Structure 1
Amino acid sequence: MDGEANLRAIYLASAGRLVAVLYALTGDYAEAEDAVHEAFARALSRPGRLRGVESPEAWLRTVAMNVARTRFRRRLLLDRIVHSGRLRPQSVPPISPDRVALADALQQLPRPVRECLVLRYVADLTVAEVAQAQQCTVDAVKSRLLRGRRALAARLDDKEESRA
């Protein structure tokens, strides 16, 4: 059995138990799932890690617990910084139906096109900065932005007509 198939079998056998343990520790089901999935992702990124381990489930549990602890510490640190007044979060505008429609339309685009659009128009990066972040040429970014704007216009126009 190869490493990926072995990990799949371990996932099927133990992921539910691991999520239950992490949920009991964190009190947050989504956080528990994220920590367990991160543990499996780390195992998948280096399949050899589990070969010499006596109990893969115990190893994964330890990794997931460490992930959850790290995230908890980071949240505590951020909370302390916010409460100290050194960081003042801006108020977040309510999510409008247009924003929901835009987010839905963006999810339907190919990942490279979606990422270019978000980095350019949401993160407000220049085209050159988007190219650097995407590790592609400026011309490729311009092409993706054009295709993305056209696709969004078509998708959002269809939704607008269906609402009328």
Structure 2
Amino acid sequence: MGSAEEEFDEFYARAYPRLVRQLYALTGDLPEAQDVVQEAFIRAWDRRGRFAGAPSQEAWIRTTAWRLAVSRFRRMRRGLHLLQRHHEHRDVEGPSPEHIVLVEALKTLPRKQRNVIVLYHLCDLSVEQISTETGWPAGSVRAWLVRGRLSLARCLSSVPDKEVDHVG
């Protein structure tokens, strides 16, 4: 007989497709069924000492997956209810041409430069706060901020005036 891990892997390979089909029939949502069955298997593995002694392991997985699906549904329903109660509907304009140009320019920056530019200028964090939040040395944050600003200035200066009147 194989190890407990091999036995669990074999059980998983055998039962997973069947359990997903069953949960899909119960929930009507294939990605949700896949997620909750996967989560149920993870929980079974985490409790493998007790799980191995379960009279019907497949029933345990199915019951756990169903409970997870119901719990997610209840949380989602409650969230929607709260949103409807506390949210007034307002039409929101799309992004301005300036915003689109700025976002496109930010996308051209290396990740760390983009992150520090956004954290500094849009989130109003200081260099020290950025350093603390990211774990990057303050000197590096300062250097990436300077490089990012220079790259943004070059990128934005090449934008034709007719595309955007003023980017700020």
After TM superposition, the score normalised by the length of structure 1 is 0.57
1:34 and 2:35 correspond? yes
- Within 1, Cα distance between the matches of 2:88 and 2:45? 39
The percent of aligned pairs where both chains have the same amino acid is 34
> What one-letter code is carried by the residue in structure 2 that aligns with 1:35?
V
The corresponding residue for 1:130 is 133
Superposition pairs for residues 52-91 of structure 1, below 5 Å?
52-84=53-85, 86-87=86-87
Aligned-residue Cα RMSD (Å) equals 3.9
Structure 1 residues 8 and 81, CA gap change in structure 2 (3 angstroms)? same
1:3 and 2:8 correspond? no
Structure 1 residues 3 and 74, CA gap change in structure 2 (3 angstroms)? same
Structure number with larger C-alpha Rg? 2
- Within 2, Cα distance between the matches of 1:29 and 1:59? 20
- Within 2, Cα distance between the matches of 1:30 and 1:70? 16
Unaligned 5+ runs, structure 2: 145-168
The corresponding residue for 1:20 is 21
Structure 1 residues 87 and 49, CA gap change in structure 2 (3 angstroms)? farther
CA displacement at 1:5 relative to structure 2: 1.6
Unaligned 5+ runs, structure 1: 107-112, 132-136, 147-164
- Within 2, Cα distance between the matches of 1:89 and 1:30? 29
**3-state SS of paired residue (2:53):** coil
- Which has the bigger relative contact order, CA under 8 A and spacing at least 6? 2
Bigger drift between 40-49 and 75-84 goes to 40-49
CA displacement at 1:8 relative to structure 2: 0.8
